[in-house]
Amino acid sequence: MKITAALESDSGMFIMEELDLEDPRNDEVLVKVAACGVCHTDMVMRGRHYLLGHETSGTVVKSGKKVRAFKPGDRVVVAYTYCGKCSACKDDRTYECDCIHHFFGGERPDGSTPFSLSGRQVFPLMRQGGFSTYTVCHEKALTRAVGALDLKSLAPVGCGVMTGAGSVMNYLKPEKGKPLAVFGTGAVGLSAVLAAGICGCNPVIAVDKISTRLSMACEFGATHCINTGEVEDIAASVRDICGGIDYGFDTSGNRLLLESLRPALNKGGKACGVGIGGSINFSNKERNDGKTWGSPDTGWSVPQKFIPYLLSLQEEGKFPFEKMIHFYPFNQINQAFKDAEEGRTIKPVLVME
Ligand SMILES: [Zn+2]
Ligand SMILES: [Zn+2]
């Protein structure tokens, strides 16, 4: 079928193109896209000729012959694809699936893609292809949409929101009443702030240089905010609040923030990060002090379990992630990217229908 998708032109701007989309194979599903969020990874992966967009929500139009869990009309959220067959998948650690790196580039196991432009193959990043009117996804990428929110508000749950909340709830697993700080409060960091509040952390410290993000962090339950543009020593500012943190989460990948997290962390402290290219190598002394660092991909989330849980929290009013969304019509994709890059919006979501 013919679909409309946003691809990057040679000048780097997105333009709307008419693509061909194959019918779903046995284990795939055709989804009419309702909306798709713009994630930081989309910005990083520009200029590489992928069909971007991996925070998709939509409605199932057609299921492959062997798909049992989804039928036409089902409302779904799309997350990452996993094989369901390797030892990690069988052990409920789908986020460590042997095939994830393979799926990242958008290829099916045989190297093909359902998308093409004038006969040339187009690969959808992470096998989603959300910046289009329709997409064909693997059934394992889908989670049924539940709860009170409309479909377009659900788009970012499958990547940014799940990753931020999961890094706290599934990886750090903070003890109630202990201090936690989030370094970098974009959509991932703000989801982590919400999760830290639900876990009962105290204080919850938000660190960023953009004041609008910090105000949202306060609205989301942060007890303290540190504007990095207004303080000399970030680690000292953290210690002034509570003497040091037991849990730290970095979403920025920024060297200054990572080097501030290191001395702010208490003995026995647990820290992690998802910022691209940013990690901490603790010294022997720090390791002897029990400080640990991890990079929990996707926030160690099993989408089909974690997303319904987050949406139930949303319905109870405890997880109002939709407040950080700013909607754009699909044809304003260039503006959405510009606003995100310049920090004017926290979570742009493109609306296709
Ligand atoms: Zn993402
Ligand atoms: Zn697997």
The pLDDT tens digits of the residues spanning 271-284 come to 999 977 688 999 99
Model confidence pTM above 0.85: yes
Is 286 in the same domain as 327?
Answer: no
Expressed as residue numbers, the domain containing 343 is 2-145+320-351
| C-alpha 243 – ligand 1 centre gap (Å) | 33
Is 283 in the same domain as 335?
Answer: no
Residues with CB under 5 A from ligand 2 (ion): 82-83, 86, 89, 97
Mean pLDDT per 10-residue section of the chain, whose length is 353 residues:
96 96 98 97 92 98 97 97 95 93 88 96 96 97 93 97 98 98 97 98 97 96 97 97 97 93 96 85 94 95 97 96 98 97 94 91
What Cα–Cα distance (Å) separates residue 151 from each residue in 32, 33, 133, 166, 190? Answer: 11, 10, 14, 21, 21
Q: How far apart are CA 348 and CA 339, in angstroms?
A: 8
Closest-lying ligand to the alpha carbon of 157? 1
Alpha helix ranges (H) inside the chain: 40-44, 87-90, 100-104, 151-154, 160-166, 187-198, 211-219, 234-242, 255-264, 284-288, 303-315, 333-341
Cis peptide before 203, with omega less than 30 degrees from 0?
A: yes
pLDDT for the residue numbered 277: 66
pLDDT for the residue numbered 127: 95
In a domain, 304, yes or no: no
Is 22 in the same domain as 136?
Answer: yes
Instruction: Sort 265 into a burial class: Cβ within 10 Å, 0-12 / 13-18 / 19+.
Output: buried
180: part of which helix (H) or strand (E)?
Answer: strand 180-183
In a domain, 33, yes or no: yes
pLDDT for the residue numbered 101: 79
Instruction: Please say whether the beta carbons of 188 and 163 come within 8 A.
Output: yes
| C-alpha 74 – ligand 1 centre gap (Å) | 23
If one counts the domains in the chain, the total is 2
Q: Given the structure tokens 């609008």, which residue do they identify?
A: 212
In a domain, 307, yes or no: no
Degrees to nearest 5, angle at CA 349 with 343 and 353 = 155
Task: Please give the biggest Cα pair distance in the chain.
Answer: 61
| C-alpha 298 – ligand 2 centre gap (Å) | 14
pLDDT for the residue numbered 74: 97
Closest-lying ligand to the alpha carbon of 138? 2
Q: What CATH number does residue 336 fall under?
A: 3.90.180.10
